Structure 1
Amino acid sequence: MKLKITAALLLATISVQAQKIDVPRAFKAAAQRTDVLIKNVDSARKIKPNLVSPRTVEKGQLKMVVSRDWTSGFFPGELWYFYEYTKDKKWLELAKKYTEDIKKEQFNKGTHDLGFMIYCPFGNGYRVTKDTAYKSVIIQAAKSLSTRFNPKVGVIRSWDHSGTKWDYPVIIDNMMNLELLFEATKFTGDSSFYKIAISHADNTIKNHYRPDFSSYHVVDYDVNKGGVIKKTTAQGYADESSWARGQAWGLYGYTLMFRYTKSDKYLAQADAIAKYILNNKSTPADGIPYWDYNDPQIPNVSKDASAAAITASALYELAKYSKNAKTYKAAADQILHSLSTAYTSKIGDNYGFILEHSTGHRPNNSEIDVPINYADYYYIEALRRYQGKFNF
């Protein structure tokens, strides 16, 4: 009988001998690919200057996005990591250039994704340069994000579209935008940002998570009564399934919640989510999950390298706080080893994106088995964290 290798067996194996990551080689390879991407981006922008950031490759073509797209901040954020690692001023100038293109979104009150859009580039930019202009942008973005908080339901509204489908939708991804609020409190001393983040995180624990610590994707709230109307999905296989990237967002989000608050309830939540992810029987031996843990077509469906990269980065941080540090680091090492050796594009392929085999929105038949900019961002971040270099 052929033995099925599951995540549980994988952890038993990697606990004996952790994978070694050749970080200089991985960074060199990533930089070579990104050089290609920059040339392609510059060519695309000569035709359409309002398209500021590369998002993915669809139907064989480079897809660029405007600054208000939720993914616009990942590429400039990634460039800051390249500069921080190499100290090469080429990357500094590029990071500044592409960060500036996102600046106007600090005033955007129509999205919950300001953490991704603003904090990835401006947070890293401020951390690396201490340019106070970047700090001002972060503070304004936090003010804009705060306008989406409704004290009646105690959470930040995610989407304004599809009003016939839901009343006040909140997605698990929203946990990733709370870092922006915490930083704004640090910069200003205004605790209102901090309190919003706490309220959102607490209500997400209460309403998004199942007994096994898997997460729903979308929870719809009643703005009049304050309760939950329904729990559903938009990007997962089914309402009751576990969308892989959503689980990764939650892991990362509650890990950073512990970082900022030192509250044991957030550490316990992050530990429980990590256990769910790492012990999931559908995860293959290389640690890269399929797009949804409950898709009945596994293994004949797309994987999601972006979920893996987010998970690895989160596990490196969680290992700093948890008694399960060895397990988390070994699992993150396995994921990062797989990504750096088997999921990178060949130089010249995929317009210069680093990783391939991510899944964006499978139910919508969009971005399936493609490179995606947030996969690259969290992959580079995970490489830095493997080195013990954390962006906080």
Structure 2
Amino acid sequence: MRNIFKSFLLFSLFFLGCKSEKKEQFNPDKALEKRFSNLLEYQADSLSFPRSYSFEKKQVNKVPSKDWTSGFYAGNLWQLFEITNNTKYKDLAKKWTSFIEKEKYNNRTHDMGFKVFCSFGQGLKHIENQNYKDIIIKSSQTLITRYNDTIKSIRSWDFNKEIWKFPVIIDNMMNLEMLFEATKISGDSVYHKIAVTHANTTLKNHFRKDNSTFHVLDYSPKTGKVRMKVTHQGYNDNSVWARGQGWAIYGYTMAYRYTKDKKYLNQAEATANFYLSHKNLPEDGIPFWDFNAPNIPNEPRDVSAGTVISSALVELYKHTNNTKYLEYSKKVINTLKSENYILPESLNAPFILNHSTGNWPKNDEIDEPIVYGDYYFLETLLRLKSL
């Protein structure tokens, strides 16, 4: 395993042109190998999916499978199996993936893609498993029960009913990948059609003139018209929440992959160009949690936003051959392969990277390791390697 791991990282470092001035003091290969192995050491049950790590409490934040982040840990294990070819990751990935199966019936959430496709979908890349396919189809059947044909969107959240009538968040674009795949698996076009309809509604209403995206749109179930455009995790309703831009870039790049509809590619490029040219994007490529946060440059960074976008831009580069997208992805990886971002060997927690920001308005998971930051970091590595 060690030789395979070193070969992968040597390739990655060579490919990215990574040179470290602190080579004697800090070895990114060794640090990453230790962090990867920490995922194997995590022992818990099906009610304890690792979501983040609190330095203040010195403990892992654990969640049940219904949490929107539950699929990422299994997804990380599947991706580490692909990176290392160590079957220990595969065996553990199968175990944690199985814990999520019951979510296929959970119709109280739009986050089926995050939970089910980041786990079972990753597994299908490595094993031929009809049960995994059946679970993806059932999960897709459950997800589309949240579709409203008047609004022509899938409802995101069920809370705040006293304020919102039918909220749709930009994050929901990420859950469409499972629907596209469900049509490929089953041959039933209903999933693909609903995914396209949702993407078209979001495209029409969610973007500002500068091609940044709002976080939450609330619709009238009676008329289908937009009632309000607000935020839930950004600094304010009109701010540029970094991870939201990532969901948009990734979501429309992915939608173009399945449909070849040029308007999706155009939007992905437009939002990517807005993001890359923003005056508040730091030189190292790791964004502040919100580009309009008031205390920049003394605001928390969001590694998870950076890795979502770095992964998306590798794919966007493949569709456009625009090297600035690839250059950004390489920059993010080079930045993260450093002592400032890779968690220390001494920390016994199933995470790789530090400095993600979850929900700033609620003061929740601020400047901490968060599981989905690791997921899209690993996905970026694999996408770069595939080039």
Normalised by the size of structure 2, how large is the TM-score? 0.91
Which amino acid counterpart does residue 324 of structure 2 have in structure 1? T
d(CA) in 1 for partners of 2:211, 2:114: 24
Q: Check conservation: 1:171, 1:217, Cα contact below 8 A.
A: yes
Aligned position for 1:32: 34
Across the aligned residues of Structure 1 and Structure 2, the Cα RMSD in angstroms comes to 1.6
Unaligned runs of 5+ in 2: 1-14, 20-26
Q: Alignment length, in residue pairs?
A: 363
Which amino acid counterpart does residue 369 of structure 2 have in structure 1? P
Report Cα offsets for 1:241-266 as digits up to 9, x if no partner: 01000000100000001100011111
d(CA) in 1 for partners of 2:113, 2:32: 24
Aligned position for 2:319: 321
Aligned position for 2:209: 211
**Deviation of the 1:130 alpha carbon:** 1.5
**SS of residue in 1 equivalent to 2:373:** helix
Give the one of 331, 334, 338 matched to 1:337: 334
Give the one of 11, 15, 20 matched to 2:17: 20
Q: Check conservation: 2:241, 2:289, Cα contact below 8 A.
A: yes
**Deviation of the 1:51 alpha carbon:** 2.0
**Deviation of the 1:36 alpha carbon:** 2.5
Q: Check conservation: 2:151, 2:219, Cα contact below 8 A.
A: yes
Unaligned runs of 5+ in 1: 1-17
Report Cα offsets for 1:275-300 as digits up to 9, x if no partner: 01100110111000000011121011
Q: Which has the higher contact order (CA 8 A, sep 6+)?
A: 1
Instruction: Report % sequence identity.
Output: 47
Q: Check conservation: 1:231, 1:239, Cα contact below 8 A.
A: yes
d(CA) in 2 for partners of 1:50, 1:332: 34
Give the one of 253, 256, 263 matched to 2:254: 256
Which amino acid counterpart does residue 216 of structure 1 have in structure 2? F
Q: Check conservation: 2:284, 2:335, Cα contact below 8 A.
A: yes
Which amino acid counterpart does residue 230 of structure 1 have in structure 2? M
Give the one of 110, 113, 138 matched to 1:112: 110
Aligned position for 1:51: 47
**SS of residue in 2 equivalent to 1:163:** coil
d(CA) in 2 for partners of 1:259, 1:26: 33
**Deviation of the 1:352 alpha carbon:** 3.8
d(CA) in 2 for partners of 1:19, 1:334: 8
Aligned position for 1:6: none
**SS of residue in 1 equivalent to 2:218:** strand
d(CA) in 1 for partners of 2:31, 2:188: 43
**Deviation of the 1:106 alpha carbon:** 1.1
Over 3 Å counting, the alpha-carbon distance change for 1:31 and 1:71 in structure 2 is: farther
**SS of residue in 1 equivalent to 2:132:** helix
Report Cα offsets for 1:183-224 as digits up to 9, x if no partner: 000011111111111111111111110011100000000001
Q: Check conservation: 1:57, 1:350, Cα contact below 8 A.
A: no
Which amino acid counterpart does residue 173 of structure 1 have in structure 2? D
d(CA) in 2 for partners of 1:52, 1:138: 22
**Deviation of the 1:132 alpha carbon:** 1.3
Give the one of 161, 164, 179 matched to 1:163: 161
Aligned position for 1:367: 365
Report Cα offsets for 1:345-376 as digits up to 9, x if no partner: 11122624100000000000100000000000
Report Cα offsets for 1:47-74 as digits up to 9, x if no partner: xx34231000133321111011000000
**SS of residue in 1 equivalent to 2:349:** helix
Normalised by the size of structure 1, how large is the TM-score? 0.90
Q: Check conservation: 2:50, 2:350, Cα contact below 8 A.
A: no
